[in-house]
Each structure stands twice: as structure tokens, then as C-alpha cells.
Structure 1
Amino acid sequence: MKKLSLQPLTQATFAPFGDVVACDRVSPFAINGGTTSRFHDLAELQASGSQAKLIVSIFRGQAFQLPLAIDMLEHHPYGSQLFMPLSQRPYVVVVAKPGELDEDSICAFWAQPDQGVNYHSGVWHHPLISLQQTSDFLVIDRSGEEANCVEQQLSESIQLQLA
């Protein structure tokens, strides 16, 4: 079994796959008479296809323990998919670049509780990997007539582990 170590999630390391959604990426500006700080335009949201629209959901992910066997990845050909943690717990992001799945390019990130991720359209990723205990995530993704989830089994399991 191949092994995959987690690396810190930063905008620079995650750029080939999408956006890190975090307040430290931009300078806020005051709104609502100065009572609120707005951290504006934190992700490039994408939606294409027939009757396409962006939708907001909450996903409740069951907790996993590391090490964890990764056997499949998925991607969304018609839109981005943004995950923002609502629980104050770290989680794991496993991704590969869009296009034909290159299993040698799979990488994994340790995401902090104040970091969200926005997978760009076509980016391969593992379904939600919550840690410690069941966790909620605000999710913004695409709804439309076309099926927008393609799953692919890996030729060999990858053991996800701490470095």
C-alpha cells in the first residue's frame, strides 16, 4: 500500500486545486455602519450546464481515524464545491489535479478549523474526512440537470497518515 503524508494547508500549496477560504487571505472592510467586518470574495465559485445554480447545504461528516485507507476519489465536472467547517475541529483534504486521474499526483492537507476549501471544477478529491468527532460543514456547490459527481476507484489503496 502506498503512503501519503499530510502537509499544512496554505493558499500556495492548494492553488492547483482551488482556493483556501480563510479570513487571513484578504483585508476586511467595514460594513453595517462599522459594526461588521466583511472578508470579501474568498473563493472562485463555478457553475455550468443546464439549469445550473449555486446551492447552499450543510454536510454532517462522520469522524475518521488516521491512518486511513483511501480507495477512491471523485470530481465535479460542472462546478466548484466549497466546504467551510462549522465545527471547531481540524479535517483532512485529499486532492489531485483535474483531467485524467494521475494517482501519483495525489496529495493530502491538514486543514485547520478556520480554513475552508473550494475545489475548482474537475479537481479530484476524496469525500469529506472529518477528524475527532462528527462535524458539520457549510457547503456551496452546483445543482443542475447534469450529473455532477464522477467517482473513480484507485488502482491501489493509499494509506493516509500523519507525517
Structure 2
Amino acid sequence: MNALPLRADVPEPRHVVAEALTPEAFAPFGDVIAARDDVRRFAINGGNTMRYHDLAKIDPGPDGHAIVSIFRGEPRTLPFPVEMMERHPLGSQAFVPMSGRPYLVVVAPAGDPPAAEDLRVFLARGDQGINYARGVWHHPLLALDAVCDFVVIDRAGNGHNCDEITLDEVVLIEPPR
């Protein structure tokens, strides 16, 4: 059997491993939505419920309104090639997992289209949601292991609110070590 010739014009993908999702590490890209000891919280409903208050800055942008949807994500297999990114220039977009399973979050700073070296990859626990700030570049939903449902809070309204780009270089997300 003949081997395929190597193509010199196709660079080796950049390999990355997801880092733990923490509020501090994710701050440049938005909010981590989770019941944590470091957020404002107080008892409600006669002391039967603890309210973890104001966890994300939902931004529907001018002339928009917040909507709630459910996204059902098919599982992805690692290693996974990241070849594209998207952003929502008119409003934020929050994802809150309903299936209790970990998932991946791939982000890059708002602004010009990102290069491969601008990407950060986070491994979110099944009890952590995220809120992408307006204009932050991110990869679409990356469920792992099984089909997962997410409550999604984002913007509806006038104007084009989804830009997509193809990366100049593939980024390959490796399984955790």
C-alpha cells in the first residue's frame, strides 16, 4: 500500500489541553455561573433556599431583549480540531448545563478575529455555567461524553448578531492527562 505524500503547505495543528474553569481565569471573556462561596448569597423562601445572586451580566444590547432557549449538544470526541470561531457583537450569551456533565469552552478576546495562539480552552464542570461577554470569540457548544442540554440566555432583536471565521491554523484539543 502506498502512503500519501506529506503536504508541506499544511502546518501541524497547535495542540492544547483544557485548563480548569475558574472565575479569575475566565474573567477576560465573561462570567462563570456557579454557586460559590465568594459571591453574594442570602437565604430566601423562609430560609429554605439559598440565592446565589447576580452571577452574570446578561447584556441584550441596544434594541434587544433577553431570551431563554435549550440547546442540545451532541458529544464531541477528543482530540477535537478547532477550525472556526464565532462571536455575538450585539449581546452576551450564557450557557447553563442541565445534564451535570463536563464540557469544553474555547474562547479568545473580543476584537479582531483571533489567531490560534489567542485561544484559551477551559474544562467546565457540570455545575458551572458560563456567560460570554458581548463580542468575545468562542467555539460553538462542545459537549463531552454524552448528549447534553444547556439553558441558553442570549439576545433576540434587530441586527446581525453572529460573526463566524475560519482559523488560519487548526488547534487540536487533546484529552486531559
Indicate the TM-score class for this superposition, using the shorter chain for normalisation: over 0.9
Instruction: Flag the structure with higher helix content.
Output: 1
- Residue-by-residue CA offset, 1:27-48 (whole Å, 9 max, x unaligned): 4211111121111100011112
- Residue-by-residue CA offset, 1:43-91 (whole Å, 9 max, x unaligned): 01111233x1000011000000100011100000000000000001100
User: Whole-Å Cα distance in 1 between the matches of residues 159 and 59 of structure 2?
Assistant: 15
Normalising by the residue count of structure 1, what TM-score does the alignment of the two structures yield?
0.96
User: Whole-Å Cα distance in 2 between the matches of residues 144 and 20 of structure 1?
Assistant: 25
Structure showing greater radius of gyration is 2
User: Whole-Å Cα distance in 2 between the matches of residues 151 and 58 of structure 1?
Assistant: 21
Percent identity between matched residues is: 48
User: Whole-Å Cα distance in 2 between the matches of residues 48 and 125 of structure 1?
Assistant: 18
**Runs of 4 or more above 6 Å deviation:** none
Give the C-alpha shift of residue 156 in structure 1. 1.6
Q: 2:48 aligns with which of 24, 35, 38?
A: 35
Q: 2:140 aligns with which of 124, 127, 138?
A: 127
Equivalent residue, structure 2, for 1:78:
90
Report 1:83-122 matches (<5 A). 83-103=95-115, 104-122=117-135
Normalising by the residue count of structure 2, what TM-score does the alignment of the two structures yield?
0.89
1:48 and 2:48 matched:
no
RMSD value over aligned CA atoms? 1.0
Alpha-carbon contact 2:33-2:96 (below 8 Å) kept: yes
User: Whole-Å Cα distance in 1 between the matches of residues 61 and 128 of structure 2?
Assistant: 26
- Residue-by-residue CA offset, 1:129-162 (whole Å, 9 max, x unaligned): 0000100001000001112111001112110113
Q: 1:22 aligns with which of 29, 34, 44?
A: 34
- The alignment partner of 2:46 has SS state of helix
User: Whole-Å Cα distance in 1 between the matches of residues 53 and 17 of structure 2?
Assistant: 32
- The alignment partner of 2:24 has SS state of helix
Q: 2:155 aligns with which of 142, 156, 160?
A: 142
User: Whole-Å Cα distance in 1 between the matches of residues 150 and 131 of structure 2?
Assistant: 12
- The alignment partner of 2:18 has SS state of strand
- Residue-by-residue CA offset, 1:12-33 (whole Å, 9 max, x unaligned): 1101000000101414211111
User: Whole-Å Cα distance in 2 between the matches of residues 48 and 129 of structure 1?
Assistant: 25
Give 5+ residue unaligned stretches, structure 2: 1-12
Q: Alignment length, in residue pairs?
A: 162
Alpha-carbon contact 2:93-2:132 (below 8 Å) kept: yes
Report 1:4-23 matches (<5 A). 4-23=16-35
